[in-house]
Amino acid sequence: MTHRGNPGPVHRLKLVTLLFALSPELLFLGAAVKLQDNGYDGLLVAINPRVPENLNLITNMKEMITEASFYLFNATKRRVFFRNIQILIPATWTAHNYSKVKQESYEKANVIVTEQNGVHGDDPYTLQHRGCGKEGKYIHFTPSFLLNDELAAGYGSRGRVFVHEWAHLRWGVFDEYNHDKPFYMNGRNEIQVTRCSSDITGVFVCEKGLCPQEGCIISKLFREGCTFLYNSTQNATGSIMFMQSLSSVVEFCNASTHNREAPNLQNQVCSLRSTWDVITGSSDLNHSLPMSGVELPPPPTFSLMQAGDKVLCLVMDVSRKMAEADRLLRLQQAAELYLMQVVEVHTFVGIVTFDSKGAIRAQLQQINSADDRKLLVSYLPTTASTEEGVDTCAGIKRGFEVIEKRNGRADGSVMILVTSGADEHINNCLLTAMSSGSTIHSIALGSSAVRKLEELSHLTGGLKFFIPDESNPNRMTEAFSRISSGTGDIFQQSLQLESVCETVQPQHQLLNSVTVDSAVGNDTIFVVMWQTSGPPEIILLDPSGRKYNTSDFVINLAFRTAIIQFPGTAKPGHWTYILNNTHRSPQALKVTVASRASSLAVSPATVEAFAERDSTYFPQPVIIYANVRKGLYPILNATVVATVEPEAGDPIVLQLLDNGAGADVIKRDGIYSRYFFSFAVSGRYSLTVHVHHSPSISTLDHSVPGSHAMYVPGYIANDNIQMNAPKKTGHRGVEEQWGFSRVSSGGSFSVLGVPAGPHPDMFPPCKITDLEAIKAEEDVILSWTAPGENFDQGQATSYEIRMSKNLQSIRDNFNNAILVNTSELNPQQAGTREIFTFSLKLVTSELEHEPDGKMQENHVVYVAMRAVDQNSLKSDVSNIALVSLSVSQNSAPALSRDELILKGVLVAVGLIAMVCLIIVAAHCTLNRKKRALKKDNVTKLL
């Protein structure tokens, strides 16, 4: 190995180990952004390889983040800014002396740039899958947003938009507007537009121009063709999470400006807390004092990097332990599939084995053909060693020797490390691996594999997998299939469509079918694997009825596999396979099917399975996620099943849901989730997710979910309407005729501190987050999703519902709010939609005698609830729902001061024809307004 010597001082190694022990999330894959001395370092921006080369993207991205840094610094009251930014240039772009990629990849990026082509057009957005105060997955920008300056009229300057999205991503705050509920009735019986702060002013606009409020509100419904336009000149300074495009907006809503009544996600998910309250509660601001003085921080520096050749080395344990529990056989079968199908073309691949010492079996060879793949398969180990000793570092050292023969360094390379050995000396190569520039994915076989193995993956940004000996024999192939090149080019990646394993009795058969949907089909491969004796009798039928037999498969008796690959594009539809066990003993028969995208025109369905954290301490649960998408768009109504396998004990099966309740934060966003708390033992747990979807017109949601930056349709300037260009929308996808199926390994996580033997119930019902309330005559109708006996599973025992006319009182002192009689309300199974109706007359007298004022002064009441299980464990208090008391179904709302002023404006405007002329004139002044907006932003920034 070149450039390597002593791994470093012992105290540095202890520091790394201590950091991991104290906070595994510090080293979580993709969480590379660090805050030091008020500056963020390591922010990774990645451009998708399918984006056409355009150097202006890089220029505008630099300008956007530079502006954002100063805007963020002021908005956080001199606390944080952006210091160092990494921009990952696609390998498909021309090389311009960029730095070489080390452990960075598209999948780890905090910000991605890729096409969207959907209903929301060029909306910037952040994909948030966790609760309030939790980091999101990524920020997304389209190339058009970064290149088209005209979009600034609707979104505001790019730097302001970036700060809006950064707050979503980093601090877990949510949007303060609501397209689905654009207005609400406040506590003073006034119709208000959903906004924060409520000091932001504007007027209603109808199809024919300015109009009175009552012209837009009919029976509490928003009349079609109406909108609310904000004044371009404001005094309000907040909020960035509502409308960052207003020049006066320079801060987040705080306790004094926050509109707690607005029916938006921020109030719902964050329990009425202001965005600034959530942000200041984050570790970022807790550990960052405001910078002294009046000087601005330095502008951020940018590092441009580009991936070189794809270089990969398999480093595999062949010690005597690999002969146990069919470990070597499963490794051979999984590695064969990986080399024959999963590894992308043009990748350089080497093979190393190790026991007490390392050995090079194959130097780097580039995959350009099927023959290259077969040659590499021939170098896989065929037998286990007789040596019991395991020296993992010796194998890693040999792996680096193979990798570095390419260009003298390991930067940007990938290593797949598979071992079952108990090697306590992995510490000796931790720092070497971390500084190598290589990403190490680890696969631990059996419970004897040393715990420090995962640290290699943590420190290098790799994935980690655990394969229990008693697990489904296909878990190894699923783990290998999850490991991709990391370029973000889904059209080149292999997708696993099927993974089935069953023990078949003698003279019995395994009969099943798999769907090859129209979005895949290229390089389709069927792999049949068996456990003992010879191959089963194989029959495969394609959708047209054509039959393939055992003789059509390529048999590898040493690895006990039979493979058939279909050149070109396989026929879409249902493929049926039949495996007949013709032998005298039962044996486990396995089928794996994989394929690639059939066309660059249609994105295939993908599944990304993952756990919320790498490790947890009993009794804290782990949330299991599956991100199910077609390109960027969520796939709805799928059947998503997670299987969690502990080191010892039976696997646990969970159906993941996308219903906006329990562990699931946002409904219909394509991220399916569930709490996992069935901890049998301390140790590693392995995660696999299977997704199935039948043909349906509701398969795909053409609206990208997430927290979007608001596009403003227009403004009121000097009593004139100035409309922005309508927001462009993309094309809709093609509905899938055949349905689809996918399989994804979610790696592994660890659970510590599980007590031996039976343990008491420590799991309460989960918090209700989707409580809604409406008034119907003298009744209040509540609806919500039922929690469970334990988090979001099972059936709670009872509900506790309380009311108050004081919002802060019910939030901060729930136990003293007025109790609603729920004696006849029996909870249903978790995930069921609950509806409960009660009469306001029963609580009116108590409301009137609340100590916080007279009821007639407040025309709304607030309702919240919690669930109770059989052991009297209570959930957290739900989100708070608002109920309007005094407005009848058809009455016009009282006009606020803004609406009275509006009547004067209408008189001054006069005839409708005059309004039409104003609208025409607005188009002529559009460019002048854009220039003025840009100049105003620069002035405000300085």
Active-site residues, by number, are 165
Q: For the CA atoms of the chain, what is the radius of gyration?
A: 30
436 contacts 315 by C-beta, under 8 angstroms? no
Rounded CA-CA distance 293/98 in Å is 37
Question: What distances in angstroms separate CA 198 from CA 278, 858, 860, one per listed residue?
Answer: 19, 17, 17
Rounded CA-CA distance 371/382 in Å is 20
Q: Which residue has the tokens 């001054």?
A: 908
Rounded CA-CA distance 172/706 in Å is 12
Structure tokens, 257: 């400006």
Question: What distances in angstroms separate CA 814 from CA 73, 438, 820, 885, one per listed residue?
Answer: 37, 53, 12, 21
Structure tokens, 713: 């349709």
Structure tokens, 314: 């398999």
Strand pairing report for 622-630 and 605-611 = antiparallel
Euclidean distance between the first and the last CA atom of the chain, given in angstroms as a whole number: 52
Give the Cβ contact number of residue 700 at 10 Å. Answer: 24
- Taking Cα atoms as reference points, which of 160, 56, 57 lies closest to residue 112? 57
Rounded CA-CA distance 164/653 in Å is 38
Rounded CA-CA distance 664/656 in Å is 9
128 contacts 671 by C-beta, under 8 angstroms? no
CA 546 from centroid of its chain's CA atoms? 41
- Taking Cα atoms as reference points, which of 166, 168, 25, 169 lies closest to residue 82? 166
- Containing 100, the helix (H) or strand (E) segment is strand 99-100
3-state secondary structure of 271: coil
Question: Which residues are CB-contacts of 534 (< 8 A; sequence separation ≥ 6)?
Answer: 557, 583
Structure tokens, 660: 């906006």
Query: DSSP letters along 303-358, please?
Result: EEEE--S-EEEEEEE-SGGGGGGGHHHHHHHHHHHIIIIISPTT-EEEEEEESSSE
Rounded CA-CA distance 145/692 in Å is 34
Rounded CA-CA distance 616/155 in Å is 40
> How would you write 374-423 as a 3-class SS string?
HHHHHCCCCCCCCCCCCCHHHHHHHHHHHHHCCCCCCCCCEEEEEECCCC
Strand pairing report for 414-419 and 311-317 = parallel
Question: What distances in angstroms separate CA 414 from CA 105, 408, 441, 781, 825, one per listed residue?
Answer: 11, 15, 8, 57, 57
Rounded CA-CA distance 184/595 in Å is 50
Helix axes 926-941, 55-75, angle to 10 degrees: 60
Structure tokens, 856: 């007639």
Rounded CA-CA distance 453/466 in Å is 11
**Is residue 910 exposed (0-12), middle (13-18) or buried (19+ Cβ within 10 Å)?**
exposed
Task: Compute φ and ψ for 51, nearest 5 degrees.
Answer: -80, 125
Q: On the CB side of 839, how many CA atoms lie within 13 Å of its CA?
A: 3
